[in-house]
Structure formats: C-alpha cells, structure tokens
C-alpha cells in the first residue's frame, strides 16, 4: 500500500461517523460497497488502527521509554513523548502508562481513556486543528478530566486548521500560521519542562 492509498484510506475511515467507526459490523457493511483492492487496503489499515494493535503499540512505546532511561547518554528524568495523528493518541496513552514520563506532546491525536488520567505524571500539551471536529470535539472533556485529576494540561485549537495542519508535505491540510505557532509552543514547552 502506497502513501496515496494510505491517505485515501485514512480519509475514507475518518469520513465514517464515530458510531460506524467503532462498530465492526457497520464498518464491514461500509467496506462492502468498495472494490476488492480497496477493501484489502482498507482492511489492512483498519487492522493497524484497531484497539488491539494500538494497545500493542502502547506497550512497545513503554518498553522503548524504559530502555531510553538505561542509556548513558540519556538523562532519565528528561524523557518526553510526541506524536502526530495516531501517534499523538499513542503519546497520550503512553503518558497514562509511564509515570516517569516528564512531558507529553499531542499533535491532533485522540485523548487517552479518561479513566486512566489519574495515572498521568507528565505535563501535557495538546495542539489541535479547529476544523478537525472528530478529534477537537473530544478536547474539552479531556481538559476537564485532567483538571479534575489535578494534572497539568494546556492546549491550543487553531481556527481554520484541519487535521494534519503541521504536515507540510500535504498541501490540502498544511496551515503555515498554525504550524509556525505550534512549533514555537512545542519548543517553549520542551524548554520549560525538560
């Protein structure tokens, strides 16, 4: 599967309403309307994005963070995570597993399971596209849960910015002003917290 197929598949999956995205039977019915080659590609993409695979990624990231802390060239008290899109969601989920993680950056990624927020020990910064409703609509609930748990969380939602606004290889989503401000905030966040 090439980059264009992945992008098209992601767009197709994101276009499905949340109640369809989280119901394998409804997603299966939606896929049946696609051609055989597209179905194969979409099923492969869905497998990578499945809850069980995301859990496996999350466990792998925890192992990596722990390994980094054993390296002589790494200050074990200054390990952070950062991710974009699904990686942003994985960065947030890692923060719920790794109590030693110092800082967590989320670029337009889904929030972690709200029940796991009390386990977060990191300072968290979220950067979101204002026109990315599927993700951005979840942020106020995430912010409220972080506040109730006494966890440091700041975020910025950029009006007019789409999902993947930071990706300068995608002209249809890249937003120069949002990306510039997000990078500035990222550097400030890392300087302050690491």
Residues 65 and 76 in one domain: yes
Helices 51-70 and 86-97, interaxial angle, to 10°?
60
Per-residue confidence at 1, pLDDT binned at 50, 70, 90?
low
- Catalytic annotation present for 85: yes
Residues 59 and 75 in one domain: yes
Determine the pLDDT at residue 130. 97
Residue that is last in its domain, among 32, 49, 66:
49
Catalytic, out of 60, 85, 104, 181: 85
Q: For residue 153, what is the DSSP state?
A: E
Residue 105: strand pairing partners: 82, 125
Task: Work out the average pLDDT over 101-114.
Answer: 96
Residues 115 and 184 in one domain: yes
Residues 84 and 7 in one domain: no
- Catalytic annotation present for 104: no
Query: 104's torsion region: left (phi>0), alpha (psi -120 to 50) or beta?
Result: beta
- Whole domain around residue 32: which residue ranges? 3-49
- Catalytic annotation present for 132: yes
CA distance 42 to 69: 37
Residues 122 and 183 in one domain: yes
Q: What's CA 54's distance to the chain center, in Å?
A: 11
Catalytic, out of 98, 132, 168, 181: 132
Strand ranges, E, within 67-194? 80-84, 103-107, 123-129, 153-158
Could you report the per-residue pLDDT of 45-79, keeping only the tens digit for each? 777 777 788 788 888 999 999 999 999 999 999 99
Catalytic, out of 113, 131, 163, 168: 163
Residues 58 and 134 in one domain: yes
Residue 135, CB-side half-sphere exposure with 13 Å CA sphere: 29
CA distance 90 to 157: 19
Residues 17 and 106 in one domain: no
């Amino acid at each position: 599967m090439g980059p264009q197929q992945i992008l098209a598949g992601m767009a197709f999956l994101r276009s499905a309403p949340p109640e369809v995205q989280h119901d394998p039977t409804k997603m299966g019915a939606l896929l049946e309307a696609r051609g055989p080659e597209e179905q194969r590609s979409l099923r492969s993409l869905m497998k990578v994005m499945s809850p069980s695979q995301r859990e496996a990624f999350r466990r792998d990231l925890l192992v990596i963070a722990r390994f980094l802390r054993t390296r002589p060239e790494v200050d074990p008290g200054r390990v952070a995570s950062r991710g974009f899109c699904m990686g942003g969601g994985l960065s947030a989920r890692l923060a719920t597993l790794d109590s030693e993680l110092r800082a967590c950056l989320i670029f337009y990624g889904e929030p972690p399971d709200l029940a796991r927020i009390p386990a977060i020990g990191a300072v968290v910064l979220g950067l979101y596209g204002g026109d990315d409703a599927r993700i951005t609509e979840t942020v106020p609930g995430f912010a409220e849960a972080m506040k109730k748990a006494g966890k440091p969380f700041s975020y910025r939602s950029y009006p007019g910015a789409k999902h993947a606004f930071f990706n300068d290889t995608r002209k249809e989503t890249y937003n120069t002003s949002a990306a510039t401000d997000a990078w500035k905030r990222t550097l400030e966040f890392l300087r302050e917290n690491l």
